[in-house]
A = this chain, B = another copy of it.
Amino acid sequence: MSAPPRPVNLALLGCGTVGGGVIRLLHENSAYLATRVGAPLAVRRVLVRDLDKDRVPECDRSLLTTNPDDVLNDPEIDLVVEVMGGEQPAFDYLRRAIDAKKGVVTANKMLLATRGPELLGLAVDRGVDLAFEASVGGGIPIVRTLREAFTSDWVERLYGIVNGTCNYILSRMREEGLPFDEVLRDAQAKGYAEADPTLDVDGHDAAHKLVVLAMLAFGARVAHDRVPTEGIRGVDAIDHRFAERFGFVVKHLAIGRELGDRVELRVHPALVSQKSVLANVSGVLNAIFVEGRALGPCLLSGRGAGDMPTAVSVVADIVDVARSKLAGSAGRSTRGISIADRPLASLDDIETRYYLRFTVKDEPGVLAHIAGALGQHQVSIEQMVQDGRATDDGLPVSVVMITHRAREAGLRRAMAEIERESWVVAPPRLLRIEEV
């Protein structure tokens, strides 16, 4: 018999709900995890802001500290698990951990979106593991899949439902015919939306996640504020009804496409077919659809947030990094990864089908005018419906069109012309139709 192996020593930065979940899972599954890793996993330090706050019962209070040096300067700590969130001081702590050749696991989406390529570069340089499964898609193993399953393939396009709040609101608007404001208020009451919902409903959270996915899928370094981003405030209940009528569902999507020298990234609501695998991803569920050149389509769906799904992903990363550390093969997960600046494609060059909704006075010649303006810019109409009301009541009517494939630049010019007409009562609505 050889001597029992030295444990792999962990420290947590942060001990909120996710951190508590991690401690609980490590505790409950300790024997099994030790056999899978080849050595016990031992939590040695937990960095917190408040020593007196309540913690999960599995958390040994004697491990708590408010001094980051107790973690970062301790040569006995093999692996740092960052579950504190936010860009700073998380970035500085992880930079120091990487410098000290500690393995790093993080669940921090904001950090990855803003400093991901930088952090990954440091990890590659130092030959250290940096695992971040939980930073995007919570309990969905998308990082693992893009890093490992796609090693010998190229991602051609990627469509994500990555914001649970948007998906919950759109799902309920669709199912119950309710207006945005009402569903948002209810989502806030239920805890599915923040008191300040801007980050979610205006699409910024999805843009953060898209930037992380683009780094993995396309090796692209892109600043999240350069991603064309649109939220779901402009989608009305009536759009859900019309979409339904044409066989579509409205989803908030994060989209990435490989275009040779450039990469196309965008976040916005879009119509997808009711037969799409994304159509039934509803409520707070997330999903990421990836299409590989050789692999073809691949969909992953699950809980995009939540303490326990996130904690499961964090522990999977801990096991992975601990194994590498133990085998003396640290840096395994980051080896050979390179991230580079990639120019973004312009929205003008998108070519797809569109859903257009016009609110117009019910006057003769209006339809001919719209069709004419679209036609002048090479946009042709595939289907059209007008709100089925009695005419001559003087009220505005909704006209909805599905176009054939068209170039966005031309479409936008046509829409701008139409919008200037006197019979246009409200700004026209435009939603892209995505084939996924």
Contacts and interface: CB of A to CB of B under 8 A. Distances in A.
Copies in the complex: 2
A144 B149 contact: yes
A303 interface: yes
A282 B275 contact: yes
A422 interface: no
Size class of the contact patch on chain A: 35 or more
A319 B282 contact: no
B296 A153 contact: no
Given A299-B299, A302-B297, A151 B335 contact: no
A329 B337 CA distance: 21
Contact of A294 (B32, B148, B308, B319): B308
Contact of A295 (B37, B294, B302): B302
A335 B35 contact: yes
A267 interface: no
A343 interface: no
A309 to B, nearest CB: 5
Contact of A151 (B292, B319, B336): B319
B294 A25 contact: yes
B285 A275 contact: no
A324 B28 CA distance: 28
Interface string A132-154: 01000001110011001111110
A287 B299 CA distance: 9
Contacts of A281: 277
A2 interface: no
A395 to B, nearest CB: 35
Nearest to A306: B296
Interface string A297-319: 11111110010110111011001
Contacts of A148: 141, 144, 316, 319-320
B300 A312 contact: no
B38 A336 contact: yes
A29 B38 CA distance: 32
A309 B295 contact: yes
Contact of A313 (B149, B282, B327): B149
A328 interface: yes
A152 B316 CA distance: 7
A36 B295 contact: no
Interface string A322-341: 01101111001001110000
Interface in A15-72: 21, 25-26, 28-29, 32-38
Nearest to A279: B280
Nearest to A319: B151
Contact of A296 (B302, B326, B336): B302
A281 B276 CA distance: 8
Contacts of A285: 277, 297
Contacts of A34: 336
A422 to B, nearest CB: 44
A329 B321 CA distance: 13
A108 to B, nearest CB: 19
A309 B332 contact: no
A20 B133 CA distance: 33
A118 to B, nearest CB: 20
12 contacts: A25-B152, A37-B336, A144-B144, A144-B149, A148-B316, A152-B312, A277-B301, A295-B308, A299-B300, A301-B301, A323-B329, A329-B329
Given A133-B149, A294-B311, A296-B308, 9 more contacts: A33-B151, A37-B336, A139-B296, A148-B319, A149-B312, A275-B280, A276-B280, A327-B327, A329-B329
